[in-house]
Structure 1
Amino acid sequence: MGYQLSAVVADAELLREQTADLDHAVLGELRQDFALLPATPQLVEELTGAPPDYSVTERSAEEPFGLVFSAALTEVLARWSRSGPVAYLEAEFAGGAGYQSALVWLGGGVSWGPAFDHRLDGPRPQWPVNAALIRLGVEPGAWIDPFAELGLHVERSTAGWLAHGRRRLSADYWDELAEEWENRQSAGGQQPERPGPVGDWGIP
């Protein structure tokens, strides 16, 4: 099963304030009072007044994102960052191959990145998504890394995060569902499928 992510992540209250008047903003709840905003084409167009562009070249350090950052989109995220750090995270994996990229704004400008990695063979805190989350202020916890600590493995696609946000689910939804199933001890029931392990960045 693959994994795809294209989203803005920041403090939940910051994102709620900045997107309160937007029709196409759907926030997914993460742990530690963070939230995820799926970067859908509809949202980008609402933010910038123009349809988004997407790169057709292979991801690389020179072109780390599929989403092309227009001047208008960059200005929006830079403006949001005056209230706190804001990260754009992008990742795609299928069959064990893929990439992840990240960029962080703070105080009205880029504070870190963009970073790109398709090998993920270095220390886990240096992987682009983890490194960006650390710069947002994500604290270490029981999970293997910041990616898992926030619950970014809970959904595997933009569509999944849209459904997650619209249903107002928590990042611990699957754990809560499994616990409820276990408590019922229903002999005729079937345990719900849960997200895969996060030992290899959430991709089983």
Structure 2
Amino acid sequence: MSYELQALIGTLELLTVAAAEVPVARVVPLAQGLALIPVTSAVLAALQGDGVVPKSGSGAGFGWHPDGFELRLAAWSKAGPIACVEAEFWGGNGTQRAAVWSDGRVVLGPLTMGEFEPAPAEGTPISRVLRRLGGYVEPGRVDEFASVGLGAHRSTAAWAAG
């Protein structure tokens, strides 16, 4: 079974403000006061349409970041921390990358976990950025990823569709 996600994560309040700048963006509430914006091709196209030009490989190691997207993340992060996350798994193996912007700069990451690498003792990249955003492990849950509900959908498109 596969899982893939490209998203921005922050507080519901912050992401609502950010999404107002990108009309095709959809804010999806998560647990613990957090929310996510699935970064779909439509969201990337909207960013490209407003002058942000795609360039593969730019942006804190995220290959899908449009060139200049870090400036927008930096601006949004002045109102509160915002994370950029990506994950791709198939049959339990896969990759994760995550970073947090706050006060206009990257304050955590980018953190990367490659295919077949064991999860570090301090947690996977996504769990670590969730912790930085205020997420925590709830009783009976294995990590922050599960606790905020990131397992509810298996793809970025499914998050966008609701």
TM-score calculated relative to the size of structure 2: 0.87
Cα distance in 1 for partners of 2:149, 2:35 equals 10
Residues 138-188 of structure 1 show CA distances to partners (whole Å, capped at 9, x for unaligned) of 133122111001000000101110111xxxxxxxxxxxxxxxxxxxxxxxx
Cα distance in 1 for partners of 2:55, 2:20 equals 25
Cα distance in 2 for partners of 1:101, 1:90 equals 5
Unmatched tracts of structure 1, length 5 or more: 56-62, 165-204
Percent identity (aligned): 37
Contact 1:92 1:99 in 2 (8 A): yes
Cα distance in 2 for partners of 1:51, 1:42 equals 14
Structure with bigger strand share is: 2
Secondary structure (helix, strand or coil) at the match of 1:126 reads: coil
Partner of 2:89: 93
Cα distance in 1 for partners of 2:94, 2:55 equals 21
Cα distance in 1 for partners of 2:118, 2:66 equals 24
Return structure 1 stretches of 4+ with deviation > 6 angstroms: none
Structure 1 residue 78 and structure 2 residue 74: aligned? yes
Q: State the one-letter code of the partner of 1:34.
A: L
Secondary structure (helix, strand or coil) at the match of 2:120 reads: coil
Partner of 1:5: 5
Residue 68 to residue 16, structure 1, CA distance change in 2 (3 Å): closer
Partner of 1:67: 64
